[in-house]
Amino acid sequence: MATISARGLSIAFPLYHLAARSLKKRLLAKAAIRVKTDESNRVVVSALHDLSFEIRRGERVALVGTNGAGKTTLLRTLAGIYEPVAGELMVEGEIGSLIDPAAGMDSDSTGRENIRLRGLYRGMNDEEIAALEQDAAAFSGLGEFLDVPTRGYSAGMQVRLAFAMATAITPQILLMDEWFLAGDADFMTKAEERLARLVTGADILVIATHDMGVVRRWCTRVIKLEAGRIVADGTVEEVLGPAHAPEAAEEQA
Amino acid sequence: MQQAVLPIYRIDANRPDRTGRAMADLRAGFASWRLAWTLARLDLRNRYRGSVIGPFWVTLSTAALVAGMGLLYAQLFRLDIANYLPYLATSLIVWNALSAMVSEATTCLSNAEGVIRQLRLPLTTHALRCVFRNALNAAHSLPLILVVFALMGQWPGAEALLVIPGLVVLAVNALSVSLFLGMICARFRDIGPIVANAMQLAFFMTPVIWKPELLGEGAKWLPLNPFYTMLEMVRGPLVEGGGTLMTWVAALLYTGALGGIALAFFVRFRSRVAFWV
């Protein structure tokens, strides 16, 4: 059964490449509590601090919070990209993450080659790659452009291809960043159905977003992050307040 | 961006099990060698995008270098050209492959930044990609050695088969160096230029264009130079009737040491790479 459980999870980013002293001092002078130096005198941003939560099967969790609150970092940690410096994390179930649509794309390769490459990135066998190719080719609606290097695509076409490849999955745990909500309106209507199927098909959804409409529509639980800590965790109503007064509720939370 | 991860992903910072995770990374990386291979081929294709003869430019420039330097240095060192040219061709081609490998190893992880921070992939995949890319690239120049042999009418004997274990040992070192330098250079961005300088120096310190005999008595110290032993594993069998036992022993010792250091480093710091790149 799909579950995610975290106990005391912490992630700290050492800022290695800004060792220039003056810069360091200036950063420290403005001392947000999150930027500090560690025992070996490095500048460290505490991106996530002591998070504990449990997400069970069937829950659709929205991660909300201002920019830099740690939403994407938490998604990446759940996806296994960042390993925590403290605490414990257990994720049970097959993970599918839609964090950056363009990661691993090769702009000199054709759309079709990119689809096959994505299949290899996912560790698929030939059969699965062929299925992915068919599915993504059909959905993207790129037609003959599939055999043109993606360098020659318009921005909209690139989004369509990336979206088609990324969403051709049926994971048990779906991790999503809000990028895909930024597509052009026309395509989003078409994408809506596919996205809805993906979201409802997954046992667990964790989505990082600023869009409270998305939260209210899809999610059953909200975890609000602030400066890398959980400041609120509860049902949508508990955290955001009743549906008809979203703005006021947001301020209270 | 779904990754084929084990159904259960458990990580506890108090019990990191670094060795287990590093081994799992290596296993997963080798198991998905097809990905590394495809990426390596794409790298080469993209590097020579639009070029008519593509990677054979390297072959051509090496050929020109060998011809030019061969004529000049045969005069300078007063060597017989039929004997010197095969030596120089083998040396230069193997050295170029070796030096390209080392210099690309320094960026093999930092160049994959976009992927490392977005997808959960074994780091071994990025190192393998670098090894495959360099192997493919070298494969375009290696046949040049045969051309020179044919032109000079100098063919090695059966000992030439020792080239195969030599190349295998080189490949092991290539992987170690990719992991090791890849990680170090992701963390300390100054190491890359230092390595480039060191390789430049090593080119002159190693008998690439000059023959070990020119050192006279000092030649017996040459196995202390790891680059010499690596070079000799491939060059020896081809032009000198097989490397000496000493160079093979030294080469294997260096391989073991480098592999050990790279592995220790990999085990200890693998989980930090996503923060470094």
Residue of B nearest to A78 (CA): B9
Kindly determine whether residue B275 and residue A84, on different chains, have CB atoms separated by under 8 Å: no
Count of domains observed in chain B: 1
Q: Could you say which residues from 17 to 36 on chain A have a Cβ atom under 8 Å away from some Cβ of chain B? A: 17
DSSP per residue, chain B? ------SEEEEETTS--HHHHHHHHHHHHHHTHHHHHHHHHHHHHHHTTT-SSTTHHHHHHHHHHHHHHHHHHHHHTT--HHHHHHHHHHHHHHHHHHHHHHHHHTTTTGGGHHHHTTS---HHHHHHHHHHHHHHHHHHHTHHHHHHHHHHT----GGGGGHHHHHHHHHHHHHHHHHHHHHHHHH-TTHHHHHHHHHHHHHHHSSSSS-GGGGGGGGGGGGGSHHHHHHHHHHHHHHSSS--HHHHHHHHHHHHHHHHHHHHHHHHHGGGHHHH-
Q: Rounded to a whole number, what is the distance in Å from the CA of B134 to chain A's nearest CA? A: 19
Residue ranges, comma separated, of all CATH 3.40.50.300 domains in chain A are 3-93+206-252, 111-202
Helix (H, G, I), strand (E, B) or coil at A190: helix
Residues of chain B found within 8 Å of residue A2, distances taken between Cβ atoms: none
Q: Taking residues A218-237, what's their average pLDDT?
A: 91
Closest to B114 (Cβ–Cβ): which among A85, A103, A108?
A103
How near does any CA of chain A get to the CA of B241, in Å?
Answer: 44
Q: Give bridge partners of residue B11 from the DSSP assignment.
A: A89
- A111-202: CATH, from 3.20.20.70, 3.40.50.300, 3.90.950.10, 3.40.50.620: 3.40.50.300
Query: How far apart are the C-alpha atoms of A178 and A98, rounded to whole Å?
Result: 9
- Mean of the pLDDT values across residues A223-238? 90
Residue B8 lies in a domain: no
Q: Do A89 and B114 touch (CB under 8 A)?
A: no
| Percent of chain B clearing pLDDT 70 (strictly above) | 97
* Tokens, residue A28: 């420290």
| Assigned CATH topology for domain A3-93+206-252 | Rossmann fold (3.40.50)
Determine the residue type at B263: L
pLDDT at B20 over 70: yes
Cross-chain Cβ contact A91/B119 below 8 Å: no
CB contact under 8 A, B116 and A81: yes
Q: In this predicted structure, what is the pLDDT of residue A26?
A: 56
Nearest-Cα distance to chain A for B34, in Å, is: 7
| Confidence label for A183 from pLDDT (cuts 50, 70 and 90) | low
Q: What is the pLDDT of residues A42-85, one digit of tens each?
A: 677 888 989 999 999 989 999 999 888 889 899 999 998 998 88
Distance of CA B125 to the CA centre of its chain: 16
- Residues B3, A79 contacting (CB under 8 angstroms): yes
Nearest to A164 by CA among B39, A143, A210: A143
The answer to whether position B223 is within a domain reads: yes
Alpha carbon separation from A17 to A40, B65, B115, B168 (Å, rounded): 15, 39, 19, 37
The answer to whether B1 contacts A96, with C-beta atoms less than 8 Å apart, is yes
Q: Does A108 contact chain B (CB < 8 Å)?
A: yes
Cα A219 from Cα A62, distance rounded (Å)? 6
Cross-chain Cβ contact A17/B189 below 8 Å: yes
Residue with tokens 């296994």: A80
Q: Averaged over A189-198, what is the pLDDT?
A: 79
Instruction: Answer whether residue A31 shows pLDDT above 70.
Output: no
Q: Tokens 């046992």 sit at which residue? A: A203
Nearest CA in chain B to A99: B118
pLDDT, one tens digit per residue, over B88-129 is 999 999 999 999 999 999 999 999 988 898 888 999 999 999
Smallest CA-to-CA distance from B135 within B233, B25, B41 is with: B41
Query: Is the distance from CB of B205 to CB of B87 less than 8 angstroms?
Result: no
* Owning domain of residue B186: 53-276
Please report the pLDDT score of residue A252 as a whole number. Answer: 46
Encode pLDDT of B181-217 as tens digits: 999 999 888 899 999 999 999 999 999 999 888 888 8
Chain A / chain B CB contacts < 8 angstroms? 115
**Which residues of chain A have a CB within 8 Å of the CB of B3?**
79-80, 95-97, 121-123
Domain assignment of residue B21, yes or no = no
> How much of chain B, in percent, has pLDDT values that exceed 90?
62
Bridge partner residues of A3 (DSSP): A92
Residue of A nearest to B119 (CA): A81
In a domain, residue B47? The reply is no
pLDDT in tens, B127-171: 999 999 999 999 988 889 999 999 988 888 888 889 999 999 999
CA geometry: angle at B268 spanning A38 and B29, to 5°? Answer: 130
Which positions in chain A touch B266 (Cβ < 8 Å)? Answer: none
CB contact under 8 A, B3 and A13: no
pLDDT at B64: 93
Q: Is residue B23 part of a domain?
A: no
> Which of B276, B228, B271 minimizes the C-alpha distance to B24?
B271
Of B4, B39, B118, the CB nearest to A122: B4
- Say whether residue A38 is in contact with chain B using an 8 A CB cutoff: no
Query: Around Cβ A64, how many Cβ atoms within 10 Å?
Result: 26
